[in-house]
Structure 1
Amino acid sequence: MTNRNFNILIRTPVAFLLLATMLAPTAGAQAAEELRIDHSIISSEIADHAVLLRERALLDNLSVDIVESLTTEVGPRRIGTEGDKRVIEWSQAKFRELGFDRVWTEEVILDRGWTRGEARAEILSPYPHNIVMTALGYSVGTEGDLVGELVEFKSLEDLEAVPEGDSLKGKIAFVSYSMSDFVPEPGQSEFVGYGLGTRARGRGHVVAAKRGAEAIIIRSVGTDNNRYAHTGSGYGYVDDVKKIPAAAVSAPDAILIQNMMKRGEPVTMKMNLTSEITGPE
């Protein structure tokens, strides 16, 4: 096994900034008290400072400027890539520019990697269409064309309700959960809907594999409606469960597939992912 060493920035200051954005739009100790902050974990001083940081953030565009700088000057930055090296350098420089006087890196051993490769997909029947697709992070490839009938599930919970074994043998599981359909309860953030969507993205491949599926696809998680597939990473594979390909399709393509299914005919997809996990299995 070959180990590759990379440095990674300790992002403690970011934690305070993130905390600040989560706090209510009031200031000082009163705000901290209203939020019932556990001062055995976070001191009153830090909590008060976080509230002030949040208030300050509402008055300028610094956070937007930082994100713009990151996406423009660095771009993609998956760990172990050249982009990862660039973002470490960028982060150190940015924190120093912001006035932090304690910025350092620590060594991280990376013994495996992943290549996204290319993704191609099309509906073969009943109505031929090209489909916009991208592999979920750390998905295995299809090793050539993979063809299967799609079986729709509205959520990961619906997929989990199917008996394990051969229930989905030869099929491609399709989780069509749409964040746009999520209706938050009073006082609940709409971003709860995002968390619900990432469940299938995170572990749907393992759940589907336990039921015999050949692959799993999900609707890209988000409220966008453009024909662009996007995704994060899965939570990894389980040693004693078959590794199956996992991918996301764009929102319009997910709707297209659902419209086909409403017509009552089997929907057959062909997909080809060249993604590959590198390093020890």
Structure 2
Amino acid sequence: MQRPTLTLLAASLMLVTGLTCAADAPTTIPASAVQTAEQLRDKAMHDSTAYDVVTSLTTEVGARMAGSVNDPRARAWAIAKFKALGFDKVYTEAVTYPLWVRRSEHGAIVAPFPQPLDLIALGYSSGTPKGGLTAQVVQFASLDALKAADPASIKGKIVYIGYRMHRTKDGHDYGIGGGIREEGPLVAASKGAAAFLLRSAGTDANSRTPHTGVTDFSDFAHPDKAIPAAALSNPDADQLERVLAYGKPVSIKLDLDCGIVGQYTGYNVIGELTGRKYPDQVVVIGGHLDSWDPGTGAIDDGAGVAIALGAAKVIHDLPQRPDRTVRVVAFANEEMGLWGGRAYADKHAAEVGKFQLGTESDLGAAPVYQMRASVKPQARGAIEQIAKVLAPIGVTYDPTHPGGGGSDLSQMHLRGMAALSLDQDATNYFDWHHTANDTLDKINPQELAQNVAVYAVFTYMAAQADGDFGSAPGAFAHDGAGE
């Protein structure tokens, strides 16, 4: 092989240097796109699309528990709604998961002071034997206390943990309450407990409405390892604790008719507005289409689906398509373990570099008050540009903490997708979360429209950016991506 000439070496060096500089160049958003985003923001603040969508979903379909009779009805509704709103492409992707069903649940204190209890079975709970089970209650102050307990003190008993969630704007206490609900039954089962009860993971104090939710029973090959698990309403938890305070043995009868009955294949529903210049590069937003069964799934997560569709609609109505594709995903079965999000990430992981930026809405319909981002350092300036457009509608930018992508899209972030977190005010959210009170009346149309404005602004500006936000395999492992 001939040696390259000095001229060729110099040219090669200039090319490599140029490519490096291009790769390191800051991502910016053109002034024309900023101006359009401001117009989108103002229009979206007065647009009723999202409220019309969530009204339609909760009225025409209602509760949408994964695998239930309403699951295919919700999917058909979503496909029709995407098409009606003008998406260029609408399609589905299969998601297969264990099918858990709830038939009925009853509970009562039988001694020393007989009385009924308002409770609800938790996802992946096993059923009780026919006729129910009756056992003595053993109380623990925390999950850590349960973990430290001698199995001999638990075997054959009903474990109860009464942690009371506190109301906060960022909803961080759900990490404790939800953690007890998820892990507590598994720990209790490993120590030989007959069943598990907890105070509902919710902030409502006076409603006898229990909060359901999933457990960590995930050994689906051995469902016999699960035990009956249920949540008490807050007033019923208070009553149980008063009875326990007498210091007498307390026995409860549980009769739960529920359990896994095989597998089910549902579908993520996806719609796209095709990008004008870079159709294979996508900005992805969404919500999850499924809900728990007691309510109509308005705030969890009909609102999220509606916000994403509303944002896409105002972008759709612009005189021309944005440079990159806008993709909206209505995820299947988030509630029972991120099944739709995980299936989506498994299918699209190899394409993560084509994902410009993304996040999912899944914390109700109260206003977005804060934005966080996981992007490459050279894209921080573009995030600041987005933040400036959002500031007039009450959104601050926290540059010190990473974004996570929301519930389902956390799985793409885990694979390396650049992601935002658009934090909503969760002060009241956990009053209604996973209960029969998750209904349309909890949504304020003006607050919902603010969410649409936020999503429309960031989606459009990301789609128009000169440069990318750093998506690449494993790009954000350092910031706890996917956690």
The two structures share one fold, judged by TM-score above 0.5: yes
What's the TM-score, normalizing by structure 2? 0.43
The aligned counterpart of 2:202 is 222
- Decide which of 231, 252, 266 is 1:248's aligned counterpart: 231
- Decide which of 88, 104, 112 is 1:101's aligned counterpart: 88
Deviations 1:237-273 (A, max 9, x none): 4459832111111111111101111222222101111
> Is 1:234 paired with 2:215?
yes
Q: Separation in 2 of the partners of 1:51 and 1:210?
A: 55
The aligned counterpart of 1:32 is none
Q: Which amino acid aligns with 2:216?
A: Y
Of 122-131 and 165-174, the range deviating more from structure 2:
165-174
* C-alpha distance 65-240 of structure 1, shift in aligned 2 (>3 A): closer
Partner secondary structure for residue 184 of structure 2: helix
* C-alpha distance 101-268 of structure 1, shift in aligned 2 (>3 A): same
- Decide which of 219, 223, 248 is 1:265's aligned counterpart: 248
Q: Separation in 2 of the partners of 1:94 and 1:113?
A: 26
> Is 1:120 paired with 2:106?
yes
- Count, aligned residues: 229
Structure 2 unaligned regions, length at least 5: 1-23, 264-483
Q: Are the counterparts in 1 of residues 185 and 216 from structure 2 also a CA contact under 8 Å?
A: no
The aligned counterpart of 1:129 is 115
Q: Which amino acid aligns with 1:134?
A: I
1:167-246 superposed matches below 5 A: 167-179=153-165, 182=166, 189-224=169-204, 225-238=206-219, 239=222, 242-246=225-229
Q: Separation in 2 of the partners of 1:55 and 1:257?
A: 51
What's the TM-score, normalizing by structure 1? 0.71
- Decide which of 143, 146, 159 is 1:156's aligned counterpart: 143
* C-alpha distance 235-66 of structure 1, shift in aligned 2 (>3 A): farther
Q: Are the counterparts in 2 of residues 210 and 241 from structure 1 also a CA contact under 8 Å?
A: no
- Decide which of 77, 86, 90 is 2:64's aligned counterpart: 77
The aligned counterpart of 1:19 is none
The aligned counterpart of 1:142 is 128
Q: Which amino acid aligns with 2:195?
A: A
**Which structure is larger by alpha-carbon Rg, 1 or 2?**
2
Q: Equivalent pairs: percent with the same residue? A: 41
* C-alpha distance 91-251 of structure 1, shift in aligned 2 (>3 A): same
Q: Are the counterparts in 2 of residues 57 and 63 from structure 1 also a CA contact under 8 Å?
A: no
Q: Separation in 2 of the partners of 1:254 and 1:211?
A: 23
1:2-41 superposed matches below 5 A: none
Shift of 1:233: 1.6
Q: Are the counterparts in 1 of residues 124 and 215 from structure 2 also a CA contact under 8 Å?
A: yes
Deviations 1:35-74 (A, max 9, x none): xxxxx9xx766xx899997876665565444333322221
The aligned counterpart of 1:15 is none
Q: Are the counterparts in 1 of residues 106 and 118 from structure 2 also a CA contact under 8 Å?
A: yes
Shift of 1:155: 2.9
* C-alpha distance 240-220 of structure 1, shift in aligned 2 (>3 A): closer
| The structure with more helix, counted as a fraction of residues | 2
Q: Separation in 2 of the partners of 1:50 and 1:156?
A: 47
The aligned counterpart of 1:8 is none
Q: Separation in 2 of the partners of 1:50 and 1:234?
A: 42
Of 151-160 and 116-125, the range deviating more from structure 2:
151-160
Q: Which amino acid aligns with 1:223?
A: T
Q: What RMSD in Å do the two structures reach over aligned CA positions? A: 2.9
Partner secondary structure for residue 77 of structure 2: helix
* C-alpha distance 50-213 of structure 1, shift in aligned 2 (>3 A): farther
Q: Separation in 2 of the partners of 1:235 and 1:161?
A: 19
Shift of 1:217: 1.0
Q: Are the counterparts in 1 of residues 223 and 260 from structure 2 also a CA contact under 8 Å?
A: no
